[in-house]
Amino acid sequence: MAQFTNQAQLAYNDSVINSNIAVGEILEVLSATKTAVSDSYGADSNLTYVISVVNSGAVPFTSLTVTDNLGAYTFGTSTLVPLTYNDGTVTYYINGILQPAPAVTTSGTDLVISGINVPANGNATIVYEAATNRFASPEAGAGITNTVTVSGGGITPFTATETVTAESEPELSVTKSISPVPVTENGTLTYTFLIQNTGNAPATAADLAAITDTFNPTLSNLTVAFNGEAWTAPTDYTYDETSGVFSSAPGLITVPAATFTQDATSGVWVTTPGVSTLTITGTV
């Protein structure tokens, strides 16, 4: 609710008399909430937002405009926007009934949805998707807070905000290489597994990461090392020379978290993966 004041003046002859200050109050009947379906995000995540505008009054409101800043934040002298609206994803409901798509435009860094109507004692709901981009911080504990403003229709603009936080988990990938190529018959062959973590949390023993591979041709006289430290069978791994199946013990593959830097000029976040290496050498 918003208060307002007013004071009158009475002038006569050479005198000016001030009245008392009258205080009034505007009962605000419109309210808005903004909710993200998921409360966390990762790289290239699609986030679904739900905006609900509720009218508790007896008079309908028409031609409202809903403006979302898509998480815009100040970076130096620039404004960066960590979310990108997914074209064509806006849906609009009045009292739960699907309506024709409203007008959707962009203004500067904002997403603008116009032509929203809210019936008396009713509600309007707007649903849309946005994707995280290279300006969204991937660091642990980081978040995206975006604000929606409802305006137009003769009302005093009002806002609603929602915050989603960066997922805190490892993101692993593995690349396998062979050396030497070619290898002579009965020669020594080395498989190298480069395990990278682009996530903001390390892969620890609790994640139970393991490498399984079937060597064809099979290898004999196996030697195995993880990050330069020798592994022994069957404690650290198992290997069947007949079938060629190799399996590391779950939880022994650990990988440090990635590190992140934000380019001082462009504001783009750059990821340097955490890396671990498994090498397996044997005779063909």
Report the distance separating Cα 124 and Cα 117, nearest Å.
7
Q: What is the pLDDT of residue 282?
A: 94
Q: What is the pLDDT of residue 106?
A: 86
Q: What is the pLDDT of residue 47?
A: 97
Evaluate whether 48 touches 37 at the Cβ level (below 8 Å). Answer: yes
How far is C-alpha 119 from the chain's CA centre? 33
103-156 pLDDT, tens digit each: 999 888 899 999 999 999 999 999 999 999 999 999 999 999 999 999 998 899
- Collect all residues with Cβ–Cβ distance below 8 Å to 157 and sequence separation of at least 6: 149, 150, 151
Q: How confident is the model at residue 96 (pLDDT cuts 50, 70, 90)?
A: very high
Report the distance separating Cα 149 and Cα 128, nearest Å.
15
Q: How confident is the model at residue 1 (pLDDT cuts 50, 70, 90)?
A: very low
Distances (CA, A) of 122 to 1, 29, 63, 92: 19, 11, 15, 14
Local structure of 205: helix, strand or coil: helix
Distances (CA, A) of 238 to 231, 247, 262: 10, 5, 43
The strand pairing partners of 278, in sequence order, are 193, 226
Q: What is the pLDDT of residue 226?
A: 98
The strand pairing partners of 213, in sequence order, are 246
Report the distance separating Cα 85 and Cα 78, nearest Å.
20
Q: What angle do CA 163, 164, 166 make, to 5 degrees?
A: 140
Q: What is the pLDDT of residue 26?
A: 52
Q: How confident is the model at residue 15 (pLDDT cuts 50, 70, 90)?
A: confident
Local structure of 245: helix, strand or coil: strand
The strand pairing partners of 66, in sequence order, are 113, 150
Report the distance separating Cα 222 and Cα 53, nearest Å.
66
230-278 pLDDT, tens digit each: 999 999 999 999 999 999 999 999 999 999 999 999 999 999 999 999 9
Report the distance separating Cα 187 and Cα 244, nearest Å.
17
Q: What is the pLDDT of residue 50?
A: 98
Evaluate whether 73 touches 161 at the Cβ level (below 8 Å). Answer: no
Neighbour order of strands in the sheet with 188-197:
172-179, 188-197, 274-283, 220-226, 229-231
34-87 pLDDT, tens digit each: 999 999 999 889 999 999 999 999 999 999 999 999 999 999 999 999 999 999
Report the distance separating Cα 109 and Cα 75, nearest Å.
14
List domains and CATH numbers for the chain.
30-166 (2.60.40.740), 172-283 (no CATH)
Report the distance separating Cα 168 and Cα 139, nearest Å.
8
How is residue 65 written in tokens?
């405009």
Asked whether residue 24 carries a pLDDT value surpassing 80, the answer given is no
